[in-house]
Amino acid sequence: MDIDLIRKAAIFSELTDEEAEKIAEICQTQEFKFGKSIFKEGDKGNRLYIISSGEVRISRQMPGSGEEALTVLKPGACFGEMAVFDRSERSTDAIANVDCTLLTITRSDFEMLLDFDRDLAYKVLWSVTRLLSERLRITNDNLKSFLAMSMF
């Protein structure tokens, strides 16, 4: 497993080589062909993903208008982590935008690793906190823009 790829993922960016190796040990590889669904909104969130090659489109189905693409993720991006951390359902769809290879980590393997390595857990959880804060700021900015436009 490529530890440099693992450390490209925002939640693993602060890890040492040794810690990234521990993540690599619990990774599995999955391949998805263009257009194939990786998961759908409402699915049980039992694993996270890191893009090794290809692209993944994150989208939502909007009533009356169909699919709305939210973003296209490139190699090194991590996705699906929210449902793993809060044990909830998927909040979006993830679709192979081109043929892609993904590293996957199951929730149970991830939780076990975090339980047994507190230093690694501390680094990962702080990275997740920063990532979620950044996403919340972007959402707030987008909401402000939307509200400002709707007032006219």
- Per-residue pLDDT, 8: 92
- pTM metric for this prediction: 0.86
Diameter of the chain measured on Cα atoms = 55
87 in helix, strand or coil? coil
List, for residues 16-51, the tens digit of each pLDDT value. Answer: 999 999 999 999 999 999 999 999 999 998 999 999
- How far apart CA 77 and CA 18 sit, in angstroms, is 21
- Per-residue pLDDT, 127: 92
The contacts of residue 119 (CB under 8 Å, 6+ apart) are 19
- Per-residue pLDDT, 148: 79
CATH numbers and ranges of domains, the chain = 3-106 (2.60.120.10)
76 in helix, strand or coil? coil
Residues of the chain with pLDDT under 70: 1, 152
